[in-house]
Structure 1
Amino acid sequence: MAAQCATDSDDNPLWQYALAVYGKPGVAQHLLVGQDQLGLDVLWCLTALWLAEQKQVLTPALMQQVAYDQWRSSMIIPLRALRYRCDKTHDAALRKALLAAELAAEKRGIALLYAGLAGKGVMGPVDDCNLDELVHGNLSVLTDRGQWINALAQLCWQSND
C-alpha cells in the first residue's frame, strides 16, 4: 500500500540521506565510535547532519521526540544488545538476523524522527546560514566533543571537495 504522505513512509528523504552519508568512507566507523565510546545516538547524529544540509537548526526542543525515544528504548537498543551478546563465530546466523532486525528498527526510527520533525514544522530553511556552522551547532546539541564533530564533518564532506 502506498504511503498517504511523505511522513507516512519509512523510505523518506532523511532515510535516503542517512544511507548515503553512512556509506561514505570512514563515516560509519566514526559514528560507531561515537555510539560505543561517547554514548551518542547515531540516528540523531545523522539527523543533525541532515538538518544542517536542509538549513535547519537542531534545538533541544526539537529533540523532544517521544515516539522515537520509546521506539529506540523498546526496539533498537534491545536488538543491539542481543546482537552484541552473540558470538561472531558460533552464532553467526543469529547475529546476522539480529543485525537485519536492528537495521529495520533503525529505519523505522528514522521514519519516526522524520515525522516528528515534520510535525514540529521545521521543514523550512533558515536565512543566512553557513553549512559548517550549522553542522557544528547541530552536533553540539548532541555532544561537546569538538574534535569528534570536526572529524565527522571532514569525513562527510571530504569527497564533496
Structure 2
Amino acid sequence: MTPDSTELPAALRARLAADPLWDFALALYARPGAEAACLHLQDDAGLEVIELLWRLWLFHHGLAAGPMPDSVARWQAEVTAPLRRLRRSLKAEAAERESVAALRQRLKAAELDAEREALARLEAHSRRGDVTHRSLTSADGLKDALPFHARLTKASHRTALERLNDQLDPQ
C-alpha cells in the first residue's frame, strides 16, 4: 500500500469498526484536560469540536481526511449550531428559573443527539474509504492531520492541541 492510498485494507476497516467514533469521542472527551481543550479550540479558534474529534479518531488509526463532507458541515450549521446558540443564550435565565433550566437541559440533550448524528455520518464517510492511509504518529503528524492547524496561531491554541495529543495513543 502506498503511503497515501485511499483504499482501506480489510484489517484497517475492522479496526475502525471495532473502535466506533462515538465511543472514541466520549472516551477522549472524558480524559483530563480534553474537554477544556476542545471547548477552547471551539470558542477561541472557531473549530468544530465534532470535526476535531473525527480527525483525532482518524489520526489515532493512522488516517487523515480531506474537507469535512458538505452534508455534515450543513448539518452542523443548520441543526447543531442553532441548538448550541439557543442553549447558551438561556444560561443566565436558567440560573434564575427552574423551568428554563429544565428546557436548557432538554436543548443540551438535543444538541448532544445532533452531535452524535454528525459523528455517525463522519464515521460512515470514513468507513467507505473516503480517507487517506498515512503514517501519522508524531506531534508533527497530528499537525499534518489537521488541515486547520495553520489557524491555530495563539499559544493557548497550541497548548490545547498538545493537551489533546498527549491524550492520544496513535497506532
**TM bracket, shorter-chain basis:** 0.7 to 0.9
Could you tell me which residue of structure 2 aligns to residue 9 of structure 1?
A: none
Give runs of aligned pairs for residues 1-161 of structure 1, distance below 5 A: 13-58=20-65, 62-86=66-90, 87-89=93-95, 90=97, 91-122=100-131, 125-126=133-134, 128-139=135-146, 141-144=147-150, 145=152, 147=155, 148-157=157-166
CA contact (8 A) 2:79 2:114 kept: yes
Aligned length: 144
Distance in structure 1 (CA, Å) of the matches to 2:105 and 2:143: 34
Distance in structure 1 (CA, Å) of the matches to 2:164 and 2:68: 28
CA contact (8 A) 1:48 1:135 kept: no
Question: Cα deviation per residue 1:83-138 (whole Å; 9 max; x = unaligned)?
Answer: 0111231221111110000000000000111112223442x743x44342321212
CA contact (8 A) 1:27 1:152 kept: no
Distance in structure 1 (CA, Å) of the matches to 2:144 and 2:38: 17
Gaps (5+ residues) in structure 2? 1-12, 14-18
With normalisation by structure 1, the TM-score equals 0.77
Q: 1:155 to 1:112 in 2, by over 3 A?
A: closer
Distance in structure 1 (CA, Å) of the matches to 2:127 and 2:167: 29
Distance in structure 2 (CA, Å) of the matches to 1:94 and 1:38: 29
RMSD across aligned positions (CA):
2.4
Counterpart secondary structure, 2:149: coil
Distance in structure 1 (CA, Å) of the matches to 2:63 and 2:78: 29
Gaps (5+ residues) in structure 1? 1-5, 7-11
Q: Radius of gyration: which is bigger?
A: 2
Distance in structure 2 (CA, Å) of the matches to 1:156 and 1:132: 7
Which runs of structure 1 show a deviation greater than 4 angstroms over 4 or more consecutive aligned residues? none
CA contact (8 A) 1:55 1:131 kept: no
CA contact (8 A) 2:37 2:163 kept: no
With normalisation by structure 2, the TM-score equals 0.73
